[in-house]
Structure 1
Amino acid sequence: MKKILLIATISVAGLVSAKNTEVKTPTKEVEKKEVVKEVDSKEADASMQCIQYGMLISCTNEVIPDTVCYGEGTDNATYEDAWDCITTNGQLANEFFCG
């Protein structure tokens, strides 16, 4: 008798809990990962850097904007080379426009 009562109780509890169940569909969550690269100071010096400047044309008082880059992947290895390029470009531009 005790076994039948136990089985009946479990069956009723199972039926009651089965009525209140909700079907849960698994959701696919996307994980976002952030990658941070630390740059060594020597590596930062070796990377390409650019300088924007203006060349003054003396005979027309016009300023022509220009950009020169130096570092890895350019014709100018150092800042000094880039500065020489800026000076040469200014002289050639004045010679071209002013004669």
Structure 2
Amino acid sequence: MTDAQRTRLTAWVHGHVQGVGFRWWTRSRALELGLVGSAANLPASRVEVVAEGPREACEQLLALLRSERTPGRVDHVAEQWSDPRGGLTDFVER
């Protein structure tokens, strides 16, 4: 796959998403979609999700983050799209 077919999604998930298995759930969904990146806790009860891979797979992950199937409670998801940076080989919880 060429870089033109790949993208980087950065999503900031707001709500009750810490201490409820949200990062683990996100990692599982990302791996199922063939994405690489990370999910990390941030201050103010937020989780930052960084995912790289095919645009369609990233869009599917974003839809899952916004769905009612997540652990905890998602109030809002802010997103940013950019060119992939590469160098990622797995999807990890930080």
Judge same fold: TM > 0.5, yes or no.
no
**TM-score normalized by the length of structure 2:** 0.35
Higher RCO (CA < 8 A, seq sep 6+): 2
- Asked which structure has the greater CA Rg, the reply is 1
Higher helix fraction: Structure 1 or Structure 2?
Answer: 1
* TM-score of the superposed pair, with normalisation by structure 1: 0.33
